[in-house]
Structure 1
Amino acid sequence: MPGRFEAALPTINKGSSMSVTRNKQLLFAALMLAATASPSAQPEPGRKHIDIPRTTVAPELDGRLDEEAWKNAVRIDDLHQFLPVDHGEPSEQTEFYLMYDDNYLYVGAKLHDSEPGGIIARQLIQNAPMPFDDAFEFLLDPFNNMRSGYHFQINPNGVRLDGIFDKATDINRDWDGIWDSEAVIDAEGWTAEVAIPFKTLNFNIDNPDWGFSIARTIARKKEELAWSSYNRQFNPGTAGVLRGIEGIKQGKGLDIVPSLTTGHAQDFRTDDGDIVFEPSLDVSYKITPSLTGAVTFNTDFSATEVDDRQVNLSRFSLFFPEKRDFFLQDADIFSFGGLNENGIPFFSRRIGLGSNGKPVDLNAGAKLTGRVNRWNIGALLVQQDGGVPGVDAPILMVSRVSANILEESSVGALMTWGDPMSGQDNAVTGADFTYHNTHFLGNRSLTGNLWYQQSWTEAVSADEQAWGGQLGIGSSEGLAGNVTWERFGEAFYPALGFANRTGITHANVTLSHAYRPRDNPWLRSLFSFMDFDQVNNLDGDLESQQLFFRAAMLENHRGDRLSFNIFHGREVLFEDFPISPGVIILPGDYSFFRYGMELVMAQERVFAPRAQFFLGEYYDGDRVNMRGGFEWRPSKHFYAGINYDYNNIRLPAGNFQTRLVQLSANVAYNSKWSWVTRMQYDTYSDSIGLNSRIRYNPRAGEDFYLVLNHNFDAEGTFRGLESTANEVLLKYTRTFRF
């Protein structure tokens, strides 16, 4: 379970070196070969399977399995441990029950526990992370393609957390579906009931066999159990098969989601105030059970979670993830070439944000996403208000198609059109091949990517091409590694994507080793990790080189981790680098070492502190970096946390310090009422941002929000404050399903 289970150290998608001509030939040869390969995945003979019965009586969701309907459900109790021991014997008995009717998939759970008082259940906010809690979770791959799917998770408070699988192995937690769950702790452990509406899912109505697996976490023991897993991986590629889902319905397949935001906004600098009144409407329609069309009008993002601030000591812009619901539905379809940051041809945060980073209204938008047989289809058309002075409201377009080939792989193409930041025409086309094999050499996984892109920008005739490839072998024990190579032309410009460094070749090599001793009284695992990264300009001159070596990361059975790290950097500057106001690093060749250690206490603890310390050389001076904080969860009703990042940098050109402080506090009366507050300060902006949201979630698909946003200028860390802007908003949204 990525992001929750500690499996193999992840392969890192970055970039090796060969001639340009030969690279193109190899890339297109591979793409053409992939396109002619056998179509979609078929269930492997070795995959576990279970037949699910249909029920005519729907259970009442109260968290207890005492209704007659559950007696007819199929029972799953053959779970195995995969952490800490892969396919070891579970320490506690677990029973899951499955059945379905025309409209819902039902999942029941009886999770026995020999020490019910030790059950951990401290998350009470819906759709919030729960890595520290007891939980059970399951995945559904309705197309049984071993590449995509939905992920659902429940803790003993009945709190829901969901996501969609992105790139087969990663979960995008920002997706939020509509479903119901209830849970109860009793003298034998805890029980839970879940109902997943088929209206929430895309599926092929002619496919009765779905990819499926289910798992359990026993938090105090750091123990993970699963029905179907491989190499400590829990994802669509390692899932079993749920057979016999037939005759299910999605109703008319129509969702209408009106929302209304009202409030007041005040600018204290100009003493201007405005009444906010913003109605908006989202409508989605399932053209077929596997293909969804959606339109949005006057889209409002006022209740979207704020970004985490970051300190940037590099010469290049930072990457922030997408969090807006309209862009997250079927977001995995738009993934390209395994790229994570630099070089992404489509990055949805380019839409709806102006040149100053502030939200820009979307006048209207339309989206088509889904799967037809082995084809994955995505298209997006948006008109937004002009977010840049002098630029009329642009029309922006993205289209994506890919075909499933082999057992877990795909080949596809993508095109974008439009530039929200200028009045110039811009287009990008690209093709990619992704290879994935979760059963390589018996106990490893093999991944590979090849991709090519071409941008066209008005009045530009220079090098606008980019291409690259990646090959990685993953394993939860022993050696694992990854090799990547990428080239970005000098004028490559994906206006709807993200490219913060062009005119380069980029090579990356990672190696890792995992050791998991058996029956050691205190050591759970020992990890070592090496990451070598090099960037050259297109003339072959070195620009950047980094070597990060984690000599050892020791983890005890409680989950506390201690790491020892070494870093070597080399930066070749061809022009002045203004790293801080009044501090300029001159052109030159700089080489430097830093050394550090990190201590992170397990999140399962009520009080979980963490600290990281790095010191050593930095360009032609010295740098001390300290990071720390804590998370405090005294009960399920309250949480407080602090993050602190401090740099003290001394250079011949001048000395400076940076600070980033983040304060968080959550209060949850029950699973329907929550109050989440976040305050952030950084020295780069010398400002403080406060975001506070009270949420009432009476049922899945309906929300009331009371939102307070307040900004201050600051003379120092939370001192010398002067208010600059204030916003108080009330938002209501509800999904009507037909």
Structure 2
Amino acid sequence: MSFLKLAFPVLLLLTQFLPLHAQKVNDSYQLHIREINSPITIDGKMDERAWQQAEVATDFHMITPMDTSDATLRTDVRMAYDDKNLYLIAINFKGESDPNVVESLRRDFNFGNNDNFLLFMDPFDDQTNGFSFGANAEGAEWDGLMYDGGSVNLSWDNKWVSKVANYEDRWVFEAAIPFKSLRYDEDITKWGINFSRYDLTFQEKSGWAPVPRQFPSASLAYTGNLIWDKPPPAAGSNISVIPHVLGGASHDYQGSGSTSYRREAGVNAKIGISSSLNLDLTVNPDFSQVEVDEQIIDTERFELFFPEKRQFFLENEDLFANFGTPTIRPFFSRRIGLEAPIIFGGRLSGQLNRNWRLGVMNMQTERVDAQRIPSQNFSVFALKRRVADRSNLGLIFVNKESLGELYQAEDNTTGAPRYNRNVGIEYDLATANNLWNGNFTLLKSFSSQTSGRTFSHSTSLLYSDGNWEATWAHDYVGEDFTAETGYVPRKGYIRTYPEVGYLFFPSTTSILSHGPTISTSYYFSESFRNTDYENKLTYNLNFRNGNTLNGWVSNQFVELINPFDPTNASGYFLEAGTRHHWKNFGLEFTSKPQSLYTYGFSVQKGGFFADGERFYATTQLGYRFQPYVNISAHTSYNHLNLPKPWNQTDFWLIGTRLDITFTKNIYFTTFTQYNEQLDNVNINSRFQWRFQPASDLFIVYTDNYLPGLFSVKTRSLMVKFTYWWNL
């Protein structure tokens, strides 16, 4: 602890000598926005006087397939504002015989499978965080929180309105975004901004401010500037109350044979402490998953990761959840509220000013005697300081505290620890031109039950210039490091995993780019004994029409640190300390997304544990009656040929999905999954009606069956109503 107390002030002191406000790459790109005094109707028509007087952002630059020319398709964008809303209209001109290509009318669509227009907005001009809004060519809306300089979390929803109108030679997107839905500093009159256009028929992605092709069009390092004629208006009283009611019934046909009922109500509230700082409060929240997680065949040794989708945790989620690396996270919000109901909680998060971000969270859960889980309190404190162009220095503290009397285990020891704490510092590197990115993280855990090697550390550095991409990364997790509110699937190791790749861009062939990637991953024990490695060579081909093809070969070694069942289903285990070595090769193909009929496959063949063999194959098929109906099917087949007692094992996973989007606000989805490894058939049907922005009615029906006889295991029906009410 004394080291961390010393390290953070020293690093903070060093940042005072680093420049904070280097000029942006695209600082010369400017769009001036002016206040209007005449109304704008959101109807997809540019017939208001305010639009005729607004400045135009045009002359877009091509990003892909080549980033050295102007865009083929013309796009014109105008913006304006009044005391309530930020307005935008985008005129997306088509080419000759250029039909719209869209998957469906479902919200938060897949970027690469739809003709679309997107706005990327950085109100603090810190080139790290912001907002994204947009639509596909048939009007399906897209909104998300931006983080890490170019990633978008589409699970976030907020209140805004839009309209898409289609004409013979263009499609028009018009939107009104309330200032209450944004977080910004009223004193900042220059916002980072960029506009992105994607057209699948022409296979062209373009942006108003130019972006190199190796980076996503969402990259905030390459935004231009939105220049306000005066400071943006205050959002005013910004309080939202979001009540919900939920009712449902579930019948257990194979266990007790009883029916259980759910009758619940709760409320969330969002309170704007300032235009950039938000307080989220919740009482008796509903964190039920109305959308089932897609199943997989699990033959892995360690815990799998599923992303957070619950709305309460999403605003400024990166402050808490992105600390560390994907396999060393001190905080993972899905640990809260899934085993024990949450009684109440609160989150204060946002920007203190352009250079400082703050996040504070506290959640309280109930005691659950049936699962021997005590009442627990979860607290998180996160602070980030912007330094040196687009880089950040961060501090995090996570505390999980068991309250009241603890349950006793059979050996008379305490089952749950009284407390588990993590404290850490982090430096995220991102240069102004985005060529260099990196991360340094140092964590220490404290627990009432463990002590000793309780440190964790990770470092990574990435260079990417469009042709070359090279990464160095290494991790260390001590044997006694514990992060009960985090995601750390493996402990007691040192890992190095460098990677280098090169892309060729031929100018005259049907291939857009191709090239090799070499990667290695080596695990060592804390005494530097090699326990795992994988060496892998991949060759990637990206075709101009949108098809992709990748092939790879690998060489792998594993020394088991714990007993392991290679089928994850037989109950027979390989002993810890046994050593296993094999080679694999694989092939993956995905068809062009602009076709109504899409398909893809992947195959993998080679060795496996215990000198066995494994063949693994997946397929995906899809057809759409755009924009209303999408039908898809996927299969996964695992064939394991192992010695006794496992012998030959086959696992099938078959899933189908039917998506019907009646309008951009009314959806029906039926998802069926047969999982041979779990011996289960699952059917999940969900109806969603978004009757107002961010207000929904859900009806969810779920069945679980035994394969073969198709006898019912469980059956449930749930109705959920959520209403977003602005005070």
TM-score relative to the length of structure 1:
0.91
Structure 2 vs 1, CA of residues 306 and 113 (structure 1 numbering), >3 Å: closer, same or farther?
Answer: same
Equivalent position to 2:718, from 708, 729, 735: 729
Q: How does 1:301-316 map to 2 (within 5 A)?
A: 301-302=287-288, 304-316=290-302
Equivalent position to 2:460, from 465, 470, 486: 470
Cα offset, 1:335, TM superposition: 4.1
Structure 2 vs 1, CA of residues 736 and 536 (structure 1 numbering), >3 Å: closer, same or farther?
Answer: same
Cα offset, 1:577, TM superposition: 2.1
**Local SS of the residue matching 2:259:** strand
* Contact 2:183-2:275 within 8 A present in 1 as well: yes
* Contact 2:674-2:681 within 8 A present in 1 as well: yes
Cα offset, 1:506, TM superposition: 1.1
Q: 1:311-330 CA distances to partner (integer Å, 9 max, x unpaired)? A: 22121111111111111111
2:615 counterpart residue number: 624
2:225 counterpart residue number: 241
CA distance in 2, matches of 1:466, 1:582: 33
Structure 2 vs 1, CA of residues 574 and 394 (structure 1 numbering), >3 Å: closer, same or farther?
Answer: closer
* Contact 1:183-1:191 within 8 A present in 2 as well: yes
Q: Which letter does structure 2 place at the counterpart of 1:361?
A: P
Say if 2:623 is the partner of 1:639: no
CA distance in 1, matches of 2:582, 2:25: 54
1:600 counterpart residue number: 590
Q: 1:152-201 CA distances to partner (integer Å, 9 max, x unpaired)? A: 12112211112112222322121112211111111112111011111111
**Local SS of the residue matching 1:349:** helix
2:362 counterpart residue number: 381
Q: Which letter does structure 1 place at the counterpart of 2:604?
A: F
2:338 counterpart residue number: 353
Say if 2:242 is the partner of 1:257: yes
Cα offset, 1:423, TM superposition: 4.5
Q: How does 1:211-610 map to 2 (within 5 A)?
A: 211-232=192-213, 233=215, 234=217, 235-244=219-228, 246-268=231-253, 269-302=255-288, 304-340=290-326, 342-354=327-339, 360-373=340-353, 374-386=355-367, 389-418=371-400, 422-439=416-433, 445-476=435-466, 478-520=467-509, 522-550=510-538, 552-580=539-567, 581-586=570-575, 587-610=577-600
* Contact 1:514-1:525 within 8 A present in 2 as well: yes
CA distance in 2, matches of 1:24, 1:301: 35
Q: 1:327-370 CA distances to partner (integer Å, 9 max, x unpaired)? A: 11111222445512x2100000000112xxxxx42111111001
Equivalent position to 1:611, from 601, 608, 616: 601
Q: Which letter does structure 1 place at the counterpart of 2:191?
A: W
* Contact 2:417-2:447 within 8 A present in 1 as well: no
CA distance in 2, matches of 1:28, 1:425: 24
Structure 2 vs 1, CA of residues 175 and 575 (structure 1 numbering), >3 Å: closer, same or farther?
Answer: closer
Q: 1:555-607 CA distances to partner (integer Å, 9 max, x unpaired)? A: 22210112221121111125542222154334432221111212210122111
Say if 2:643 is the partner of 1:652: yes
* Contact 2:361-2:381 within 8 A present in 1 as well: yes
CA distance in 2, matches of 1:657, 1:25: 54
Q: Which letter does structure 2 place at the counterpart of 1:541?
A: R
Structure 2 vs 1, CA of residues 451 and 493 (structure 1 numbering), >3 Å: closer, same or farther?
Answer: same
Structure 2 vs 1, CA of residues 116 and 102 (structure 1 numbering), >3 Å: closer, same or farther?
Answer: farther
CA distance in 1, matches of 2:459, 2:8: 12
**Local SS of the residue matching 2:112:** coil
Structure 2 vs 1, CA of residues 25 and 370 (structure 1 numbering), >3 Å: closer, same or farther?
Answer: closer
Cα offset, 1:649, TM superposition: 1.0
**Local SS of the residue matching 1:499:** coil
Q: Which letter does structure 2 place at the counterpart of 1:573?
A: L
CA distance in 1, matches of 2:385, 2:195: 27
Q: How does 1:99-118 map to 2 (within 5 A)?
A: 99-115=80-96, 117-118=98-99
1:691 counterpart residue number: 684
Equivalent position to 2:151, from 170, 175, 184: 170
1:182 counterpart residue number: 163
**Local SS of the residue matching 2:312:** helix
Q: Which letter does structure 2 place at the counterpart of 1:277?
A: R
Aligned residue pairs, count: 700
Q: How does 1:2-151 map to 2 (within 5 A)?
A: 31-32=11-12, 34-38=14-18, 40-41=20-21, 43-44=23-24, 46-47=26-27, 48-115=29-96, 117-151=98-132
* Contact 2:324-2:330 within 8 A present in 1 as well: no
Q: Which letter does structure 2 place at the counterpart of 1:638?
A: V
CA distance in 2, matches of 1:274, 1:57: 56
Cα RMSD (Å): 2.2
CA distance in 2, matches of 1:63, 1:138: 16
Cα offset, 1:255, TM superposition: 0.6
Q: Which is worse superposed, 409-418 or 176-185?
A: 176-185
CA distance in 1, matches of 2:562, 2:627: 53
CA distance in 2, matches of 1:28, 1:107: 43
**Local SS of the residue matching 1:439:** coil
Cα offset, 1:418, TM superposition: 0.6
Per chain length, whose mean CA-contact separation is higher, i.e. which structure has more relative contact order (CA < 8 Å, sep 6+)?
Answer: 1
**Local SS of the residue matching 1:89:** coil
Cα offset, 1:104, TM superposition: 1.1
Structure 2 vs 1, CA of residues 403 and 39 (structure 1 numbering), >3 Å: closer, same or farther?
Answer: farther
CA distance in 1, matches of 2:167, 2:315: 37
CA distance in 1, matches of 2:618, 2:171: 38
* Contact 1:417-1:428 within 8 A present in 2 as well: yes
Cα offset, 1:126, TM superposition: 2.2
CA distance in 2, matches of 1:45, 1:329: 28
Aligned sequence identity (%): 22
CA distance in 2, matches of 1:469, 1:255: 41
* Contact 1:598-1:612 within 8 A present in 2 as well: yes
Structure 2 vs 1, CA of residues 58 and 534 (structure 1 numbering), >3 Å: closer, same or farther?
Answer: farther
Say if 2:673 is the partner of 1:680: yes
* Contact 1:646-1:659 within 8 A present in 2 as well: yes
CA distance in 1, matches of 2:600, 2:363: 43
**Local SS of the residue matching 1:65:** coil
**Local SS of the residue matching 1:579:** coil
**Local SS of the residue matching 2:498:** strand
**Local SS of the residue matching 2:375:** coil
Runs of 4+ displaced beyond 6 Å? 23-30
